[in-house]
Amino acid sequence: MARISERAAAAILAAGGSSRLGEDKVTLDLGPLPVVCWSIAAARASGVFDEIVVVAAPARLEAVSALVAARYRDVRVVAGGTVRTASSWAALDATSAPVLAIHDAARPFVQPALFARCVEGATRDGSAIAGIPLADTVRRADEAGASLEELEREGLWQIQTPQAFRRDLLERSRRAAGDRSFTDDAAAVVAAGERVRMVHGDRRNLKLTTMEDVSYARELVAKGIVAVAAVSSGQRSQQRI
C-alpha cells in the first residue's frame, strides 16, 4: 500500500478498567501475542504510521510498558486517564502528528487495510470513523426485556475503531469538551459541532468485552481464521518507526 504523505500516528488505547472481564484483557495471551500487541502489529503492517503510542492505565503502566518493550522497542507507552476520553487526550498530547488514528486495544483483529482507510479518509476529509451499516432488525425493549418497538435501521451504523482525525479537529473538540467524557472520540467531535465521516469497517474487528469473547477470539486464532499481521518488505521500507 502506498505511503500516505502526511505524517500520521496511531494511538492504541489500553487503559480500560476491564470491569466486565475481571482482569486486564489487554495483557491476556491471544495465541502468539498478548491482546494489545495484535493492534500494534496491524498498525505497523499498514505502512501508514510514523509513530505508534500505547496508552495504558497509570496503575498498569509499568506492566504494559514491559510487555510492549519486549516486542516493539520503538513503541512508546504513556499513561492514560481514568475515563476513555482522558486517555484519548493523553494520546493527543503524546504525539505532534497532523493525523491521529485512535484504536481500542480490545479490538485485536483490526486489519492493516482498515487503519490505512481511516488515515486516508482523515487526511482528505478531516475524520474517518470505522463502522458497519446495521443489517439486523433492531428493537427497543424495557428493563424487563419486553419488546416496545422496532427501530428503523436505515442509516444506522455499528461503530468500531480505528477513528482517525486531523489534529486540529481533535484539539478544537478537546477545548469544547472541557471536563466532559464521551463513549468514543467521534462523540466528542460531534459534540463540538463538527461532522464525522464513516468508512466501512470489518466484521472480524470484534471487541473483547467478556471472557466469552476472549474464548471465542482464542478459538479463531487456534483455527487459523485470524492471524497476526506481518510487515511486508515493501511496507517495512516505507515505515519510519
pLDDT in tens, 63-94: 999 999 999 999 999 999 999 999 999 999 99
Domain span including residue 123: 8-238
3 falls within a domain: no
Q: Residue written as cell 504494559?
A: 64
220 falls within a domain: yes
Residue 179 in contact with residue 168, Cβ under 8 Å?
no
Task: Supply the pLDDT for residue 65.
Answer: 97
What CATH number corresponds to the domain at position 52? 3.90.550.10
1 falls within a domain: no
- Rg of the chain over Cα atoms, rounded to whole angstroms, equals 18
226 falls within a domain: yes
Question: What confidence tens digit (pLDDT) does each residue in 91-100 have?
Answer: 999 999 999 9
Alpha-carbon separation of residue 237 from 51, 64, 87, 179, 191 (angstroms): 15, 28, 31, 42, 40
Q: How many domains does the chain have?
A: 1
Task: Supply the pLDDT for residue 18.
Answer: 56
Q: Does residue 238 carry a pLDDT above 50?
A: no
Of 240 and 143, the one with more pLDDT: 143
What 3-state DSSP class applies to 27?
helix
150 falls within a domain: yes
Taking alpha carbons only, the member of 6, 15, 164, 25 closest to residue 98 is 6
Task: Supply the pLDDT for residue 241.
Answer: 37
